[in-house]
Structure 1
């Protein structure tokens, strides 16, 4: 099994576990980012209070709305990202080694190269998985209130049944809704700010790799060559790296969520965005720069916790996979007759 495949599978596993732990925070954060009702904005709810409100009025299941496609998206995103990250990283390391042989550099991958590697991996990931996140955003922002509005719009003979039990709103319904609104290209809504947001994992991995390298160097000096890093230290490094990246790129995340959420075609034109630039201009005009940072405290908690768990689990899975492969090879060699 190749190192790239091991990292890809480990990244997918770590991403799924992190997603399961932090998903209610993601749902609340997406709603905060896409909230455009002035009456609701006057009374700002805290993260925990808003979670309680969702449970009280809509039930526990709404905190996990879109969980299934989100887990698929997380597995696909992390798997694709880490797979291509390791491939591009291997190429960067080979190039650095060649430069060292020619008398340039120390043979290690520099900060700029790490940034480029993360950016390229992120672009591939975004282009392949954006449709999944459009569906997830729609399901996270869907409320029973909007479902009741949908029920009122159906045929009269069906309205009595709908009053008792609103029509279902699952993954297939969201896919049909997005397609009816904008066709196939509707699944790539928000892709432009998302591509720009590639800088988030780029900054994150640049910080993480730099901090990890420094820590290993320091550990090697103290422990005479032993540079082993613990799971807790990986957790903390991942948290710090994600915190820095999130603070810088959060406004783009808000714009992306606004574009991917269901657009209001009638009534208040402030709620309808034709594209990235239109969304930015309307948000500045009607909400000010505060609008770009809605729900940021929730996002910091969620993303830092998720990234820390992801890094810790991924590193442990990679170590376990390599240990199992080494053990398997060793047992195979020993079992062969002399």
Structure 2
């Protein structure tokens, strides 16, 4: 995605970067999920993030900030490995078919058309998430397992019976969650919200398109970076973080609907749809409800995507350095 290195190298570096970023940003991810699945009017804006964090710490302790991190890390590793592999493989294929391969020995990447970049990112996103969605569904259930059982899944940031919360938490292990999902909806339940996820595959596609454009701008005028076609790891952070914030804002109503579909387990209603979610939310909370939790999602995405690309870039540069060192250490061929 960010270089002409082999797909497996890019997949490995991207997966490691994503898993590391996930460890940094997971509490924000958990808070974003809980805010997205509540109808509480108090959890609005950045103040709502602090209230949610305070509620979790007060009722669950520090460990509560990492509920579900195991399955989420597994989903992150799997999804991002497949995503970066598919993306780099398809992109290299398209570049080769168009006869745009860089000269031998050059690591400079080629910027394709907007439609081609979006199409490659979209297809890669759908393929990777089709496999990792079950783990994502389990993660969302684990993240919201301590919420009350009211119809709207409301999280009260002011009150919280610690004993009740701990009882819910202790009875919500991954195996229990898996059994519950299967009993409620069968195997189909593990892909709940996938139709929305398909559309949301535009999120990384838009992010990577903007990042590719940023790379061209960031490396212009710098001989070392222009030769590799990649910005240094520090400049890669804002180059990935800001595009992610833009794409997240554009697609946020879909993100909200997907999360609420995946967590929905009440009233025995298995026919709830994305349109139903939007209709109910808009009726009760107007546009503010449609964008509930946007701030937490942006902050989480900003940190996660920025760290991912920064680490991925550093790993790729290290691999390139090892390759060059190996070539230079080879004895000259005698004629």
TM bracket, shorter-chain basis: 0.7 to 0.9
Structure 2 residue 195 is the aligned partner of structure 1 residue 192: yes
Are the structure 2 counterparts of residues 10 and 49 from structure 1 closer, same or farther at C-alpha, using a change threshold of 3 Å?
same
Assess if the C-alpha contact under 8 Å between 1:207 and 1:241 holds in 2. yes
- Aligned-pair Cα RMSD in Å: 2.9
Assess if the C-alpha contact under 8 Å between 1:211 and 1:237 holds in 2. yes
SS state of the match for residue 222, structure 2?
helix
Aligned residues: 307
SS state of the match for residue 142, structure 1?
coil
Assess if the C-alpha contact under 8 Å between 2:281 and 2:289 holds in 1. yes
Cα separation, 2, equivalents of 1:290 and 1:142: 25
Q: CA deviation at 1:275?
A: 2.0
Structure 2 residue 244 is the aligned partner of structure 1 residue 264: no
Counterpart position of 1:79: 81
Q: CA deviation at 1:96?
A: 2.8
Q: CA deviation at 1:280?
A: 2.4
Q: CA deviation at 1:330?
A: 4.8
Cα separation, 1, equivalents of 2:332 and 2:111: 38
Assess if the C-alpha contact under 8 Å between 2:215 and 2:229 holds in 1. no
Q: CA deviation at 1:116?
A: 1.1
Q: CA deviation at 1:228?
A: 6.1
Counterpart position of 1:152: none
Deviation digits for residues 38-84 of structure 1 (CA, Å, limit 9, x no counterpart): xx325655212321211111222121110000000010111010000
Structure 2 residue 45 is the aligned partner of structure 1 residue 47: no
Assess if the C-alpha contact under 8 Å between 1:219 and 1:227 holds in 2. no
Assess if the C-alpha contact under 8 Å between 1:216 and 1:228 holds in 2. yes
Cα separation, 1, equivalents of 2:166 and 2:25: 32
Deviation digits for residues 232-263 of structure 1 (CA, Å, limit 9, x no counterpart): 11111111111111110111100000000042
Q: CA deviation at 1:278?
A: 2.3
Q: CA deviation at 1:111?
A: 2.2
Counterpart position of 2:25: 22
Assess if the C-alpha contact under 8 Å between 1:273 and 1:279 holds in 2. no
Which of 273, 279, 282 is 2:280 aligned to?
A: 282
Which of 305, 308, 320 is 1:307 aligned to?
A: 305
Cα separation, 1, equivalents of 2:178 and 2:96: 43
Assess if the C-alpha contact under 8 Å between 1:263 and 1:273 holds in 2. no
Which of 247, 251, 267 is 2:253 aligned to?
A: 251
Counterpart position of 1:214: 217
Counterpart position of 1:178: 181
Structure 2 residue 141 is the aligned partner of structure 1 residue 138: yes
Cα separation, 2, equivalents of 1:318 and 1:295: 34
Assess if the C-alpha contact under 8 Å between 1:194 and 1:256 holds in 2. yes
Cα separation, 2, equivalents of 1:241 and 1:144: 32
Higher helix share: 1
Which of 117, 123, 128 is 1:125 aligned to?
A: 128
Higher relative contact order (Cα pairs below 8 Å, separated by 6+ residues): 2
Structure 2: where are the runs of 5+ without partners? 103-109, 150-163
Cα separation, 1, equivalents of 2:226 and 2:74: 44
Equivalent runs, 1:78-157 vs 2, <5 Å: 78-97=80-99, 108-143=111-146
Deviation digits for residues 69-120 of structure 1 (CA, Å, limit 9, x no counterpart): 00000101110100000001101211332699xxxxxx75222211111111
Which protein shows a greater Rg?
1
Cα separation, 2, equivalents of 1:164 and 1:51: 16
Q: CA deviation at 1:213?
A: 1.3
Counterpart position of 2:161: none
Are the structure 2 counterparts of residues 165 and 5 from structure 1 closer, same or farther at C-alpha, using a change threshold of 3 Å?
same
Assess if the C-alpha contact under 8 Å between 1:4 and 1:84 holds in 2. yes
Q: CA deviation at 1:19?
A: 0.3
Structure 2 residue 206 is the aligned partner of structure 1 residue 203: yes
Are the structure 2 counterparts of residues 42 and 164 from structure 1 closer, same or farther at C-alpha, using a change threshold of 3 Å?
closer
Assess if the C-alpha contact under 8 Å between 1:192 and 1:276 holds in 2. no
Assess if the C-alpha contact under 8 Å between 2:219 and 2:225 holds in 1. no
Structure 1: where are the runs of 5+ without partners? 101-106, 147-161
